[in-house]
A and B are shown apart, each in its own frame.
Chain A
Amino acid sequence: MASFFKAIGEFFADFGTAVSKGDFAVKLSLLWMGAGYARRKQYVKAVIMTIVEIALIVFTFKFAMEYVPKFATLGTVQMEKVFNMKTMKSEFNDYDNSFTILLFSLFSFVVWFAGAVVWMRNVVNVYELQKLEEAGKHINTFREDFHSYTEEKFHITLLTLPVLGIVIFTFIPILLLIFVAFTNYDQQHMPPKSLFSWVGFQNFLSLFGGGGLTTTFGYAFVRVLGWTLVWALFATFTTYIGGILLSLLLNSKKTRMPKLWRTLFIVTIAVPQFVSLLLVRNFFANNGIVNTICSNIGLTGFLQHIGLVSNNYIPFLSGPGWAHVMIILINIWIGVPYQMLIATGVLMNLPSDQLESARVDGATPFQVFRKITMPYLLFVTGPALVTDFVKNINNFNVIYLLTEDVYTTTNQAMASSQAKEVDLLVTWLFRLTQDYYNYKMASAIGIIVFIICAVFTLVAFNRMIKGDREGTYQ
């Protein structure tokens, strides 16, 4: 963190020095970006920088200025149209679209930011050239500069495209999501017909139950968040422990045909998850095969008798509590093979010298497991455990496929906020956007999910790699 800010500070310091100590050409570079290069006879670079500068100016006036000035209001001109019978066409006014204004403004900001960095960097570069000239050193020709990008600066060439991709496909959309959380973008304010505008922290207020229009949103949020964390914890640790136990079993010398068993377990991975989940959902449906079997063998009747079940079916996936447990159990079945694979890989690389010496010292198998195997596993798979936890917070597939169309909440307060007891934050968010066009709330929830995941990951990773854990283990 500190080094990051130091780098920024140095960048500005370099720029300051360049501007104050640079000669006329360097100073002129502030206005005409090609000036410094032209003065040092780097004409190709001068032309390129001039083109970049012109492109930036054209971009600013032809594109950005159409959207950025409206950024503060997100548009004021409502769509209006008139039907012209003579041409049989509708004629539209030049209406504002809040969404495009927001999106293209953000895009412009990113481009301008990049432009500013290039502009400052450019001045620093031409000052470097000035110093080279003053010292009488060789100034690279364009060919030599170009060549350096396939040699010592090859990393820059390699990384340009991925970085561009990340900015356009990841960074700008995330920025957009964050900004939408501060607007009233919902069904009542859907562009292009209507405009939406900034509302500050209003959405977060209603999310936490204060000042919002419905009190149930905060009520539902707390419960959904609670289940999300409980689920992530159980889903991560049950499959983790299950996977380790299973791989220990398969690795045991007493197990016959370990390869066959391993293959069988991996078959569950080979079948696409959504197929197996939908099948399992049907098995455990209220009128599904498992319920038929249970009622035939009298289990349903017994459960009814002791008061656990009030209907003539067992609500495996349709009753609160029941569904929660079932989801975690089904997830074990789906998740264990993956963990088994990972654990098997780690177990095969256990340092044999330590196992050997433990055996010589007369350690019991359980002692070996507790003192050697488990610490080693934890050490190697720790980071994977953290990512698993985060992945489970956002585990859309399992929850959505198992409960959609099957689970109906009987909690009216939850229903009023379109939530269900078995919803994770992501599935709730999905329904809010998909069925209710409530983009602003979905964005607010998205930010909360992001914060939870980010904080957890940072804390967990920091603890894990704090000091020299590797050394401690060895």
Chain B
Amino acid sequence: MTDLAIDPAAARPPFEQLKAQLIDQIMRRRLPEGTKLPSVRALAAQLDLAAGTVARTYREMEEEGYLVMRGRLGTFVAAVAPPSESALERARELAADYVAAARDLGLGDQAIAGLIDRTLLGESR
């Protein structure tokens, strides 16, 4: 995180500069998945930015899937590579196995799809 630098005189606003630089480091794996980022206040102090600027950058980057915020634990780099061709192939096989097994148990297609939706959303909700 030491090579971040914000140029206050540049045409691009500081918020966009910070975001572009963080995306650059994440996409090039200089900040690999799971890396913990400094707190909003620490990074703001390091770069001489307003805390709100850093907070907005983190928030937008979380919405876009680059970062994960884990409350008091801090902010972490998310996984950005899409699943590999072979992982997708394996997942398709597992899905086919699941559908076949659930049909054997007598479940209808709607129930089968409903169970997947519920699992994705988390059982508690």
Q: Do A and B bind each other?
A: no
